[in-house]
Structure 1
C-alpha cells in the first residue's frame, strides 16, 4: 500500500471536519432543548411500554378469570345433563394447546392464553372430568378489550409526542435564558478585553436567580481586576524607569555635545539621541496606556493638512487628495500618527511611499514586503519590530504610539498587505497599507463623544 493511499482517509477526514465543523455548531439553547427532548422521549417510551404491558396483562387476567368461571359452569352442566352446546364446549379437543393439556392431565383445572400473529389471542380453559375425558372451551379476546387497548396505545403515542414537544419548548425557554446570560457575559468580557475597565461582567448579566453563570462572571471580573492591577503596575514601572532615565540621558546628550569633533563623537551623539528618543517614546506609550490623554480639537481641512505635513516630514512622499473633507480633530496627534506611519514605511518598506486622502480616510502605502502576520492578526505591539523580512530596525514603538494616538482621536487604525493579482495565500505581498479612519463625530476635550441631536420627528 502506498503512502498516498494511507494518507487519503486522513485528508478526507480533515476536509470533512473543515466543511462541517462550523455547520454542526449549535448554541446552548438547542443543546439543552435536544437533551430534554431526548430524555423526555426515553421516559415517555418507557412509561408507555410499562402502561401498555400492565394494561394488557390486567385485561388478560380478567379474561382468564371469566373463562375459568365459564369452565366451572360448563362442567356442572355436562356432569348433570351431558350437554356440550354452551360456550363452545368441546370434549377432548385435538386443537388444545400442549401446555394446557399437560396441566389438565396432571389433574388440574387450568387456563391458557394462546397468542396469534394477528395480535388477538385466544383464551382457553380446560378441566378433567370424572369419566376420564377433558372438557375445554376457548374464545377470542373480546373486541371491546381490543378496542380499549388500541385506544390506550393511541393515547400513549399522543402523550409521548406531547411530552417530547413540551420538553423541547421547556428546553428552549431554559436554554434561551442561559444562552442570553452567557452572551451578555461574553459581550461584557469582550468590552473588558478592549480596555473598558469600568465594565463588570456580573452586573452585565443581571438577573435574580444565581447559578454557575454568576460564578463564571465573578471569576472573569476577578481575573480582569487582577490583570488591570498588574498592567497598571507594569505601566507605572515603565513610566518611572523612563522618567528616571530622562535626566541622565539628557546629561549624556549634553556631555556628547562637548566632545571634540570626530567620528567617535558622532557615534556617541547618535546613540545618545536614539536613547533619548526611546525614552520619550516609552513615556508617551505609558501616557497613552493610562487613558488620561485628551484631544485638543480644531477644525481643519484634512487633505490640505496632510499635504502640508507630509511635505515637511518627507518631501519624497507623494500625496493624492481624492476627496477633501473638513474634520474636527487634534492636529498635533494627527501629525504624530502620520509621522510614525511614514517613518515605519521608510524603515521597513520600499519606495515609492504614497499617501492618499479620501474624505475622512487617510492611507499610507509602501511597496515593501508587507506587514508581518503577527501584526495583521494582533495589531502593533511594543518592542516588536516585525519579521526579518522588514529589516528589523527600530524599537517597535512607532506603530504602537500611532495606534494609541488614534484611540485618543476616536479613530481606527488598520493594517493590511497588498497581494499581487492572482497571488495565492502563501505568495509574498507587494506592499503594506496603513489606513486611518477618522470618526464622523470626534471626541470632546473631556474624552467623551457628543450626543447626536435627532430631528423632532424621530424623537
Structure 2
C-alpha cells in the first residue's frame, strides 16, 4: 500500500520546532517561578502569622482578664492535627491548610503556661494573592511572547534555509535538463556557510564527473562514426561497381544501411554536444508541413485546423517530420494522419502503438521495440527527432490512442480544450513548437507549463 505523505516546508518545520521548544521552556520556567513565588509568599505569611500569635500570647499573659486578642482563640477545636501534635510537645508552629475554594488558610499556634493552646488563622488573600495573580498573568504574557518570538525566528531561519534549498533544487533541475554550465554553489549564494553548501559542492562535483564521462563517451562515439565514414563510403562505391544481381542488391542495401547508421550516429553525437544552433526563418506552419509531407510521403493525409506563423529552423523541422513519418509508416498501421493546429503538429498512425518502455522513459538509442511493433531499424529516429526538437526549443511527446472499445483519451491542445482521439488505437507523436524562438546564443524562452491528465501513464504520454 502507498503510504500517505504529508508535505511541509522546512521553514514551517523549523518554526514549529522552535515554537514547541520555546513553549516547553517557557512553561517549565513559569511553573518553577510560580511555585517559588508561592512558597516564598507562604513563608512570609507564616512568619507574619507567627508574630501575630506571639503578640496575642504576650497580651493574653499580661492581661488580667486573659481575653484573647487579634482574633485568636483558646483551645480551638478546628486546630489541625499537625499543630495539635506540636502543642502536645510544647512547641509552637505554623501550618498551611488547603481550602476547597482555592485560598489556603495560614494557622499559627503556641502553648500557654496553663496547658491551653492559643491559636489564630486567616486566609492567604489580599495583597499576597493579588501579587501572585499578577505574577501568573505576567508569566503567561511572557510565555506567549517567547513562543511568538521563537516562531518568528524560526520562520526567518527556516525561510533562509528553504530559500537556499529551493535555489539549489532549481539549479539542479537546470543541470538535469542539460544545462551543465549552471553551478549549484553559485546559484544558492549567501555569506553563511552550512550543510547546504556541502550539498551544492557535492552536486557540482557529481555534475562535472557525469559531464566528463558523457562527453568522453560522446567523443568516442563521434570519433568511431567519423572514422567509419570513409570505409563505408568506399564500400558503397565498390558495391555500385558490382554486376547486377540479387547478391549485389543485398550488398548495396546493407552498405547503404550502414552509411545511414553512421550518419545518424554522427547526428546524435552533435545533438548531445549541445552545440547545435537553429537557423531561424518565419514560416506558415500549416503550408510548410503540407508541402513537406506531400514530398516525403504523398499517401499521408494532412489536415490544417488552424494556420499559424512561427519562427523556426525549416531544415530541422523537416528532419523531425521525416523521422516521425518514417517511424509511423514502418512500425505503425495505415492510415497515417498529420494534423496542424496553431503551433502544434500531430503525427498519428493506427498501428499497435508505442511500447511501454518508450512511453515511460522516452526515446532511447538502439531500442526499436520490435517485440511490440514489428519492423527493423536502429532505434535512432525518435532519438534524433527529440534532439532536434530540443534545438528548436520545442517539446516532443508520445502517447497511445485508446484501443477499440476503450474510452478515448483527451488530446489536449493549448488553443482549445482539446479534441478526442479517434476510436481506433495507434501511436500519436505531438510536436509543440515554442511561442518564442531560440535566442542567438542557443538559449530558449520558457515553454508554458501545459497541464494534462498525466504526462505518462499506462496507455502513453499525454501531450
In the TM superposition, what is the alpha-carbon distance from 1:261 to its structure 2 partner? 4.1
In structure 2, the residue matched to 1:437 is: 432
In the TM superposition, what is the alpha-carbon distance from 1:424 to its structure 2 partner? 9.1
In structure 2, the residue matched to 1:5 is: none
1:318 aligns with 2:301: yes
The 3 A distance-change label for structure 1 pair 333 and 75 is same
The 3 A distance-change label for structure 1 pair 424 and 295 is closer
Hey, which bits of structure 1, 4+ residues long, moved more than 6 A?
none
Query: Aligned runs of 1:168-183 on 2, under 5 Å?
Result: 168-183=151-166
Which of 2, 5, 11 pairs up with 1:29? 11
Distance in 2 between residues matched to 1:95 and 1:392, nearest whole Å:
108
1:51 aligns with 2:46: no
Distance in 2 between residues matched to 1:84 and 1:380, nearest whole Å:
110
The 3 A distance-change label for structure 1 pair 302 and 142 is closer
In the TM superposition, what is the alpha-carbon distance from 1:83 to its structure 2 partner? 2.4
Unaligned runs of 5+ in 2: 410-422, 446-463
In structure 2, the residue matched to 1:38 is: 20
In the TM superposition, what is the alpha-carbon distance from 1:58 to its structure 2 partner? 0.4
The 3 A distance-change label for structure 1 pair 107 and 424 is farther
The 3 A distance-change label for structure 1 pair 444 and 35 is closer
1:86 aligns with 2:82: no
Distance in 2 between residues matched to 1:280 and 1:244, nearest whole Å:
11
In the TM superposition, what is the alpha-carbon distance from 1:341 to its structure 2 partner? 0.4
In structure 1, the residue matched to 2:407 is: 423
Distance in 2 between residues matched to 1:333 and 1:193, nearest whole Å:
24
1:285 aligns with 2:242: no
Unaligned runs of 5+ in 1: 1-10, 451-459
In structure 2, the residue matched to 1:249 is: 232
In structure 2, the residue matched to 1:165 is: 148
Query: Aligned runs of 1:16-415 on 2, under 5 Å?
Result: 17-18=3-4, 21=5, 24-81=6-63, 83-386=66-369, 388-391=371-374, 393-415=376-398
* 8 Å CA contact retained: 2:18, 2:151: yes
In the TM superposition, what is the alpha-carbon distance from 1:343 to its structure 2 partner? 1.1
Distance in 2 between residues matched to 1:32 and 1:233, nearest whole Å:
44
Give 3-state SS (helix, strand or coil) of 2:216's partner: helix
Shifted more, 294-303 versus 175-184: the winner is: 294-303
Scaled by the length of structure 2, the TM-score of the pair is 0.86
In the TM superposition, what is the alpha-carbon distance from 1:236 to its structure 2 partner? 0.6
In the TM superposition, what is the alpha-carbon distance from 1:40 to its structure 2 partner? 1.0
The 3 A distance-change label for structure 1 pair 444 and 120 is closer
Give 3-state SS (helix, strand or coil) of 1:369's partner: coil
The 3 A distance-change label for structure 1 pair 449 and 89 is closer
Scaled by the length of structure 1, the TM-score of the pair is 0.87
Distance in 2 between residues matched to 1:95 and 1:399, nearest whole Å:
101
Shifted more, 199-208 versus 436-445: the winner is: 436-445
Higher helix share: 1
Distance in 2 between residues matched to 1:54 and 1:444, nearest whole Å:
74
* 8 Å CA contact retained: 2:278, 2:392: yes
Distance in 1 between residues matched to 2:70 and 2:345, nearest whole Å:
105
Q: Alignment length, in residue pairs?
A: 430
Distance in 1 between residues matched to 2:162 and 2:57, nearest whole Å:
73
In the TM superposition, what is the alpha-carbon distance from 1:90 to its structure 2 partner? 1.8
* 8 Å CA contact retained: 1:369, 1:429: no
Shifted more, 300-309 versus 216-225: the winner is: 300-309
Shifted more, 374-383 versus 159-168: the winner is: 374-383
Give 3-state SS (helix, strand or coil) of 1:284's partner: helix
In the TM superposition, what is the alpha-carbon distance from 1:254 to its structure 2 partner? 3.2
* 8 Å CA contact retained: 1:297, 1:444: no
* 8 Å CA contact retained: 1:370, 1:429: no
When the two chains are superposed, the root-mean-square deviation of aligned CA atoms in Å is: 2.4
In the TM superposition, what is the alpha-carbon distance from 1:449 to its structure 2 partner? 6.3
In the TM superposition, what is the alpha-carbon distance from 1:357 to its structure 2 partner? 1.6
Q: Deviations over 1:345-402 (max 9, x none)?
A: 1222211110112232211111223323443343322222247322363222111101
In structure 2, the residue matched to 1:457 is: none
The 3 A distance-change label for structure 1 pair 101 and 352 is same
Distance in 2 between residues matched to 1:245 and 1:103, nearest whole Å:
114
